Structure 1
Amino acid sequence: MPSTARATSFSRRGLLAAGGALGLGAALVACGGDKDKKSGGSAESGTSGPWSFKDDRGTESKASGTPKNIVAFTGTAAALYDYGVEVKGVFGPTKTKDGKPDVQAGDLDISKVEIIGNVWGEFNLEKYAKLSPDLLVTDMWQKDALWYVPDQSKDKITKLAKNTVALWAATVSMPKVLQRRAELAESLGADLKDKKTVDAKARFEKAAARLRAAAKSKPGITVLIGSASADLFYVSVPKMSADTAYFEELGVKFVQPKADAQGFFENLSWENAGKYKADIIMMDNRSSALQPSALTSKPTWAQLPAVKAGQVIPRVTEPIYSYAKCAPILEDLAKAIENAKKVA
């Protein structure tokens, strides 16, 4: 899922652009709460009795009681919040330059969490240590790589937390990713039978059926997954990210770029941005990526068939993996396909 420059074996530009392209963070190798009345079920952290959870690395975390001082990657924290589990600190895109919540913060009240890092490579160890973290939670885009945990300080960060949980955000399909976040939330006190959670899952399943039907009714419509920087246009490989892998399973026809060695995407110069033709373009919505409104001066962008037809839609490149947040993503893509005209 990944983006821009800065190095490590899995280039930051690589991973960031991978998810959609830029923004995510960089090379991947860098890589409870009180009762919540607004989000779904109630979650009571620190309850009596032993707690354990096996993450997607196969690592089992254990504690004498449910963790209450949780620090998480922003998007994961937002997913937990939707289940009623609150965290004490976050790292990753949380606050925009104008002080508003980043798109990846979801419904989090960012004034009530300690922001330990807001951009790639930033992780304030002093703030983190003061929270006495019982549990550190983040995504995983590459095996054993902790998303947005700086590689140079990873050992110190993981040692300060009593337990660390890493969950896949790539190479597996969206339903599995959703299930794993729900399982973690439940272990931390969430009630998955809460009406809001049940209704959100039902909406997600209905949206999946709608997207499947839309793709079947418009078999000729082709979708390109894009992300933009000043110098490059990234075209992502659908099978590598959990969201687009699932859309493909549902029948959506994607452009299949020639991926680089890391397998996530192909980066094109703007002179070559027209290499692939598509009827719909899904553009990375992260704050780290250039948005379509900033691309009007690029002639090759303006000449793309989907752009000329007004068939460019946002892509939630790093979804907040709760049913409540993912259902609208499927609905929006279904609507775009239902309304799309064949232009490429």
Structure 2
Amino acid sequence: MCDVTEQSEWRFSDDRGQQSTAPRPPGRVLAYVQAGATLWDLGIRPVAIFGSDHDGPDPDTAKTGTLPLADVDYVGAGSSLDVERLLSAEPDLVVAVSYGGGHVYGLAPETAKPLEERVPVVVLDVSQARTFGEIGDRFAELARSLGATGRPDADQDLDAARERLRAVVAVTSADAPRVLALSPAGPDQAHVARPKMWPELRVLTELGVRLVEPAEGPGANWSTLDRADTFALRPEVILADIRAHAAPLEELRGSEGAPTPVVPWNPEPLYGPRDHARFLGLVADALEAARAS
């Protein structure tokens, strides 16, 4: 919950139950890249972003959405991050994400703890325990507390994208294309997503998309399969992880069968309405292409 009093004092309780306060709404936000790109779609521009251990010295553009990278500093990722580097952008608020347990994703505990002693840190839970809508609502609540105004046109775009995907699914429901979400791991292996564990993929299921579920086995979020077993799932549309640390899909696919429509997929999705609408539109395009082939 957030509160802005008559004296303009700013307060926000994050998903750890910790309340951050400031004399006025913060205006210089440092954010984990996923959070920063989401806030931008909601009307708040961060001054800087940071990455995770998966990221390198440059921002992964698969994760940055429409962030104006020329105007937003990237302070680094992983072991290169320390408190002084994070504070070099002079933030008055840090926005991070967690996959449960309150752990600040992307920052080592020995970095996160002293950081919180010097600047307010808001952590939002993006784990599979929450729905995509619940996560989006929390980001929207934070953005409003920071001064963002609602954008009805963005919500209308999202409503239209959802309705279009429903309509495309309805047309193909008798013979719905099989959709497989995966992260290529090279020419011989893929990490195949378990759809129920991913809030964004659960949205697709709710809208009627036929997502392929790998067999039960090791791996809570992913099932790691060799190339033959991956394509034995007979995907007709592939949602392919496009983050920089994923292998190229063509490396995995090689000369496998006929071309399959591919949707670029960021497993660290952005929760703003325009970004989500864009993704749903790409899925609808791919389903139409699959049935036209």
Question: Under a length normalisation based on structure 2, what TM-score does the superposition of the two structures give?
Answer: 0.85
Moved more, 218-227 or 168-177: 168-177
Q: Tell me which residue corresponds to 1:115.
A: 74
Q: Tell me which residue corresponds to 2:236.
A: 279
**Residue 79 (structure 1) shift:** 1.7
Note if 1:226 corresponds to 2:188.
no
Q: Give the gaps of 5 or more residues in structure 2.
A: none
Could you tell me how far apart the structure 1 residues matched to 2:96 and 2:168 are?
Answer: 33
**Residue 319 (structure 1) shift:** 2.1
How big is each residue's C-alpha offset from its partner over 1:9-30, in whole Å with a ceiling of 9 and x where there is no partner? xxxxxxxxxxxxxxxxxxxxxx
Instruction: Give aligned-pair identity as a percent.
Output: 26
Instruction: Quote the RMSD (CA, aligned, Å).
Output: 2.8
Could you tell me how far apart the structure 2 residues matched to 1:310 and 1:163 are?
Answer: 43
Q: Which amino acid is 1:117 matched to?
A: G
**Residue 62 (structure 1) shift:** 2.3
How big is each residue's C-alpha offset from its partner over 1:295-333, in whole Å with a ceiling of 9 and x where there is no partner? 35x4xxx32x5xx24322222322222111111111111
Q: Which amino acid is 1:173 matched to?
A: T
Distance 1:48 1:79, change over 3 A: farther
Q: Tell me which residue corresponds to 2:273.
A: 323
Moved more, 253-262 or 218-227: 253-262
SS in 2 for 1:340: helix
**Residue 342 (structure 1) shift:** 9.3
Distance 1:154 1:203, change over 3 A: same
Could you tell me how far apart the structure 1 residues matched to 2:217 and 2:44 are?
Answer: 38
Could you tell me how far apart the structure 2 residues matched to 1:108 and 1:234 are?
Answer: 28
Q: Tell me which residue corresponds to 1:201.
A: 155
Identify the match of residue 216 of structure 1 among 149, 154, 170.
170
Note if 1:289 corresponds to 2:246.
yes
Q: Give the gaps of 5 or more residues in structure 1.
A: 1-44
Q: Tell me which residue corresponds to 1:137.
A: 95
Assess if the C-alpha contact under 8 Å between 1:114 and 1:127 holds in 2.
no
Distance 1:159 1:97, change over 3 A: closer
Distance 1:147 1:97, change over 3 A: closer
Identify the match of residue 262 of structure 2 among 282, 305, 312.
312
**Residue 191 (structure 1) shift:** 0.8
**Residue 121 (structure 1) shift:** 4.2
Q: Tell me which residue corresponds to 1:80.
A: 39
Assess if the C-alpha contact under 8 Å between 2:58 and 2:76 holds in 1.
no
Q: Tell me which residue corresponds to 2:147.
A: 189
Assess if the C-alpha contact under 8 Å between 2:41 and 2:272 holds in 1.
yes
Assess if the C-alpha contact under 8 Å between 1:221 and 1:342 holds in 2.
no
Could you tell me how far apart the structure 2 residues matched to 1:121 and 1:224 are?
Answer: 33
Q: Which amino acid is 1:77 matched to?
A: G
Assess if the C-alpha contact under 8 Å between 1:139 and 1:166 holds in 2.
yes
Distance 1:99 1:73, change over 3 A: closer
Q: Which amino acid is 2:140 matched to?
A: A
Number of equivalent positions: 284
Could you tell me how far apart the structure 1 residues matched to 2:263 and 2:30 are?
Answer: 32
**Residue 271 (structure 1) shift:** 4.7
Assess if the C-alpha contact under 8 Å between 1:227 and 1:290 holds in 2.
yes
**Residue 140 (structure 1) shift:** 2.1
